[in-house]
């Protein structure tokens, strides 16, 4: 952070950061997956592991530029992670209900060691996916910035813009001042 | 209280006050990240590794990155002074409040590992989880078992809250994609 930021794209190509991220990223991703998959027996779990997995993408974006990272990681992937996590979590819960039990009554699942792997399922497929997707998505939204042009509201019929206004019969004509 | 704990508590207090007092936004963000790291180590010493990992990943990592991105995208007002000017009457009032609160609350907090601690006010519940986690679920991490098995429905609600946060950000920004 040497040069003062001008509010534009503040990416500078640094050989040091790129080399460091290239070396460190595989280990961070492995650690995030370990924390996620091993959270049932050691400290950690889906929330912490998902956050670490999301940070891997943030590191890549810092090293190689946010725009290339956004082009590389399709937006549908991020939304799929977030929404798919909720669907997977709810799906496991509803599946046990369809099998005649309560919500998330794992012992009814037709898999070996159902309680353990049911818990792993909601932690990995559900919570970790939601958290990692949310971290990545918030990062991209924040990096994209917020200006008046990017958030131009769609044209709407202006109803009740001033008090005592008669509702217009002709719909949303944009002509003003024809009283 | 070991010297390590005393040092950490002093470090956390100093960084918290510095976060409030630094006039430069970038300095405040960096010190805030250091504060989160100190809190994570304190949680580890208090034998709460799951909480410590969350604090380190979310608070020290993701929050710092998002705040840095925010000042990169907005303005960082130049300052000549290092610290904010302190409002002395307000400082006296807040300090007195904190002193009274501390004098009232701190002696009542049980020591770490105290068998008469208030967490054991309901020993049949807490003891049930600790004694039956492995027999009921087959996982060794009691925290994960409570989150994913005993209180799975609550965790589903929390996961949906994170999903809702991501949706709410898009809604506020009038966007349909994380870009």
- Tell me how far apart the alpha carbons of residues A124 and A126 are, in angstroms, rounded to a whole number: 6
A83/B contact by beta carbon, under 8 A: yes
Task: Dump pLDDT digits (tens) for A83-111.
Answer: 999 999 999 999 999 998 888 888 888 88
Q: Which residues are paired to B83 by β-bridges? A: B22
Burial label for B152, CB within 10 Å (0-12, 13-18, 19+), is: buried
Task: Dump pLDDT digits (tens) for A111-167.
Answer: 888 888 889 999 999 999 999 999 999 999 988 877 766 555 554 444 444 444 444
Mutation choice for A interface testing from B46, B69, B74 by most A CBs within 10 A = B69
Q: What is the reported pLDDT for A157?
A: 45
Q: What is the reported pLDDT for A152?
A: 53
Q: What is the reported pLDDT for B117?
A: 77
Minimal C-alpha gap between A48 and chain B (Å): 5
- Tell me how far apart the alpha carbons of residues A4 and A6 are, in angstroms, rounded to a whole number: 6
CB contact under 8 A, A44 and B170: no
Interface of B with A in 117-136 (CB under 8 A): 136
CB contact under 8 A, A83 and B71: no
Minimal C-alpha gap between A24 and chain B (Å): 15
Minimal C-alpha gap between B124 and chain A (Å): 23
Chain B residues whose CB is inside 8 A of the A9 CB are none
* H helix or E strand, kind and range, residue B88: helix B88-105
Q: Are B137 and B147 in contact (CB under 8 A)?
A: no
> Where does the pLDDT of residue A74 fall: very low under 50, low under 70, confident under 90, or very high at 90 and above?
confident
Interface of A with B in 57-76 (CB under 8 A): 58, 62, 70, 75
Compute the average pLDDT of residues A4-30.
80
Q: Output the CA–CA distances (angstroms, integers) from residue A162 to A153, A158, A159, A172, in the order listed.
A: 19, 10, 8, 15
Interface of B with A in 39-58 (CB under 8 A): 49-50, 52-54, 57-58
Chain B residues whose CB is inside 8 A of the A62 CB are 65
Nearest chain A residue (CA) to B165: A134
Residue keyed to tokens 């390590």: B4
DSSP letters for A38-54: TTTTSS--HHHHHHHHH
- Tell me how far apart the alpha carbons of residues B124 and A72 are, in angstroms, rounded to a whole number: 53
Nearest chain B residue (CA) to A67: B179
Least trusted range by pLDDT, from A147-156, A163-172, B28-37: A163-172
HEC string for chain B? CCHHHHHHHHHHHHHHHHHHHECCHHHHHHHHHHHHHHHHHHHHHCCCHHHHHHHHHHHHHHHHHHHHHHHHHCCCCCCCCCECCCCHHHHHHHHHHHHHHHHHHHHHCCCCCCCCCHHHHCHHHHHHHHHHHHHHHCCCCHHHHHHHHHCHHHHHHHHHHHHHHHHHHHHHCCCCCCC
Task: Dump pLDDT digits (tens) for B74-131.
Answer: 888 888 888 888 889 999 999 999 999 999 998 888 887 777 777 677 778 888 888 8
Q: What is the reported pLDDT for B95?
A: 92
Region of A157 (left: φ > 0; alpha: ψ -120 to 50; beta: rest) is: beta
DSSP letters for B129-149: HHHHHHHHHS-S-HHHHIIII
Nearest to A116 among B138, B165, B175 (CB): B138
- How many inter-chain contacts (A to B, CB under 8 Å) are there? 159
Minimal C-alpha gap between B94 and chain A (Å): 34
């Amino acid at each position: 952070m040497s040069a003062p930021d001008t509010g534009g794209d503040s990416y500078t190509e640094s050989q040091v950061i790129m080399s460091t991220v290239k070396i460190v990223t595989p280990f961070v991703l492995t650690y995030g997956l370990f924390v996620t998959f091993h959270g049932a027996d050691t400290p950690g779990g889906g929330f912490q592991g998902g956050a670490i997995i999301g940070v891997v993408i943030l590191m890549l974006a810092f090293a190689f530029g946010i725009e290339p990272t956004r082009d590389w990681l399709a937006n549908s992937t991020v939304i799929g992670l977030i929404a798919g996590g909720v669907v997977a979590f709810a799906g496991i819960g509803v599946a046990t209900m369809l099998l005649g039990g309560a919500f998330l009554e794992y012992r009814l699942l037709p898999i070996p060691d159902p309680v353990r792997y049911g818990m792993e399922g909601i932690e990995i497929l559900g919570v970790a996916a939601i958290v990692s997707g949310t971290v990545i998505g918030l990062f991209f939204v924040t990096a994209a910035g917020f200006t008046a042009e990017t958030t131009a509201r769609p044209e709407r019929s202006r109803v009740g813009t001033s008090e005592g206004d008669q509702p217009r019969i002709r719909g949303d004509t944009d002509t003003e001042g024809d009283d | 209280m070991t010297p390590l704990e005393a040092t950490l508590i002093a470090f956390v207090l100093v960084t918290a006050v510095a976060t409030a007092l630094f006039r430069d936004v970038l300095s405040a963000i960096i010190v805030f990240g250091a504060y989160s790291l100190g809190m994570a180590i304190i949680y580890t010493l208090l034998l709460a590794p799951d909480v410590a990992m969350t604090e380190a990943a979310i608070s020290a990592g993701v929050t710092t990155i998002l705040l840095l991105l925010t000042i990169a995208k907005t303005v960082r007002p130049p300052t000549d002074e290092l610290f904010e000017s302190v409002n002395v009457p307000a400082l006296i009032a807040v300090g007195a409040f904190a002193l009274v609160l501390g004098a009232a609350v701190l002696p009542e907090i049980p020591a770490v590992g105290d068998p008469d601690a208030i967490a054991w006010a309901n020993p049949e519940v807490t003891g049930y989880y600790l004694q039956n986690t492995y027999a009921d679920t087959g996982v060794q991490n009691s925290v994960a078992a409570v989150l994913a098995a005993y209180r799975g429905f609550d965790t589903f609600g929390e996961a949906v809250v994170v999903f809702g946060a991501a949706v709410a950000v898009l809604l506020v920004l009038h966007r349909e994609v994380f870009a």
